[in-house]
Amino acid sequence: MAFDFSVEPEFEKKLEWIREFVREEVEPLEVLFPSCEFLPLNDERRRIVDPLKQKVRDQGLWAPHLGPELGGQGFGAVKLTLINEILGRATWSSIVFGTQAPDTGNAEIIARFGTQDQKDTYLAGLLSGEIFSTFSMTEPQGGSDPRVFTTRAVRDGDDWIINGRKYWSSNASVASFFIVVAITNPDVAVHKGASTFLVPKETPGVVVEATHHLVGSHKHDPGHSLVRYDNVRVPASAMLGEEGGGFGVAQSRLAGGRLHHAMRSIGVAQRAIDMMGRRAKSRFTQGSVLADKQLIQEFVADSYIELAQFRLLVLHAAWLVDTQGEHAAREAIAACKIQTANVLKSIGLRAIQVHGGLGLTDQMPLSSVLFGGIALGLADGPTEAHKVNLARMVLKGYEPEDPVWPSEFMTNRIERAREKYGHLVDRIPALPVSP
């Protein structure tokens, strides 16, 4: 099967515009407004950012992950990868291009599972970048194991009453509404007994108890919150999707998000390699520049190889999504999720090493690469859980054989050759003594 990642010349021109635009106009925002990309735009930031958003819209590149029915271009996953790997070079790109997480995934599931009223209420603000949202699923006692979830939603007439606590609700401190996964039928398996609700932040009983920040993040970062739902009453119309379908809603969101994170991480890692290369060619020590040292050369070579392999892995997953659908790409997406964290950690650490102590300071953007990799190894499920899941999917493609003598043991190979080419029996080696 041939893989094709090529795009038409007109799209190549779009990519070149994005490269220059991100480099010249978006990257400087990191210095102008450090770590404010997920805060609501105040007047000062709006004066700078809104015109940039308009330039993106004028190019037909706003919210490139969306289909035409939602105001996007319907680029497809391969083209989106080529866009996102450029956007990943600058933290403000997601806001300027309308691709910020978790809002992208939240918008997609509202578009896919929401009623028309829900779309009218929430989608416009999300797609315009005017409001933020939160996906509230993980609980203090369990994230990767939804079987231990205790947040419940109980039907009361025309309403549902939600009680429980959720953790790691990203951007809850600035969100306008929450997407909450709660158990509506505790008597069945969680994948049949969970439902999803759209809950406005101002609903009585919604309490943001605490907000925690990741190591290396800025004080302005909206962080990840512990949220309590204390007798939160919402109408039945607040349910997103079907009753009992919450797990499916969540999984449809997470799969796409994992691939989007991988796409952007290509650009993050490439920027770190670029910084590593410039520093290696410039820093003079022990009689020569770092680039002349064999160990530094190994750093550069290993980083190049890792990123090239990762990029092809992501493009392959994207190609599968485009040509065969997301279900056919699930193994490749799981592999991307695993390698996203690994690549960022290894390349980020090497880039820091090449810069010495300077690389660990807040004057360089390298620590965010390393800690970002660590964070992505936990977000949306830990690396270890995804490895187990990937292995199970791969192993489904194999059947057991003789537990003592494998099919590729020489005796078995000779027997198969005799069956196929018995008329050439004299040329086939004699069978070894039967074990």
Is 92 domain-assigned? yes
* Domain-located, residue 19: yes
Round to whole Å and give the CA distance between 435 and 417. 19
Based on the domain organization, do 254 and 230 belong to the same domain?
no
Report the pLDDT value the prediction gives residue 278, as an integer from 0 to 100: 98
**Is residue 128 situated within a structural domain?**
no
| Residue 356, in any domain of the structure | yes
The pTM of this model reads 0.90
Q: Is residue 2 part of a domain?
A: no
Instruction: Please tell me which residue, 144 or 154, carries the higher pLDDT value.
Output: 154
- 297 domain residue, yes or no: yes
The pLDDT value given to residue 411 = 85
Query: In this structure, are 138 and 94 located in the same domain?
Result: no
Handedness of CA 55, 57, 63, 67 (dihedral sign): negative
Q: Which region among 123-127, 131-135, 350-354 has the lowest average model confidence (pLDDT)?
A: 123-127
Cα–Cα distance measured from residue 326 to residue 317, given in angstroms and rounded to the nearest whole number = 9
In a domain, 378, yes or no: yes
Which of these ranges, 33-37, 221-225, 410-414, 418-422, has the smallest mean pLDDT?
33-37
CATH number at residue 265: 1.20.140.10
pLDDT tens digits, residue range 268-318? Answer: 999 999 999 999 999 999 999 999 999 999 999 999 999 999 999 999 999
- Of 240, 273, 292, the residue that ends a domain is 240
335 and 367 in a single domain? The answer is yes
CA distance 45 to 34: 11
Amino acid at 361: T
Residue 145 sits in the same domain as residue 215:
yes
Tell me the three state secondary structure of residue 350.
helix
Same domain, 390 and 256: yes
Return mean pLDDT, the chain.
91
Q: Are residues 366 and 425 in the same domain?
A: no
Same domain? For 271 and 360 the reply is: yes
| pLDDT at residue number 418 | 82
Query: What is the arithmetic mean of pLDDT over 16-24?
Result: 98
Mean pLDDT of 355-362: 95
Q: Please give the structure tokens belonging to residue 52.
A: 């940039």
Q: Tell me, yes or no, whether 378 and 409 share the same domain.
A: no
pLDDT in tens, 133-146: 999 999 999 877 88
Give the pair of three-digit tokens for residue 54: 């308009």
The reply to whether 142 and 70 lie within a common domain is no
Range of the domain at 409: 400-430
Residue 251: CA count within 13 A, CB half-sphere: 14
Mean pLDDT across the stretch 399-408? 94
Q: Are residues 344 and 272 in the same domain?
A: yes
Domains in the chain, number: 4
Q: Is the pLDDT of residue 41 over 80?
A: no
Asked whether residue 122 is assigned to any structural domain, the reply reads: no
Q: Are residues 253 and 387 in the same domain?
A: yes
Average pLDDT over residues 387-400: 96
Domain with 209 in it: what CATH number? 2.40.110.10
Query: pLDDT (tens digit, 9 = 90+) per residue, 174-211?
Result: 999 999 999 999 999 888 999 999 999 999 999 999 99
Amino acid (one-letter) located at 367: S
Could you say which DSSP state residue 234 is in? E
Pick the last residue of a domain from 240, 273, 301: 240
- DSSP one-letter string for 109-162: HHHHH--HHHIIIIIHHHHHTSS-EEEE--BTTBSS-GGG---EEEEETTEEEE
Predicted pLDDT of residue 432: 59
Do 157 and 104 lie in one domain? The reply is no
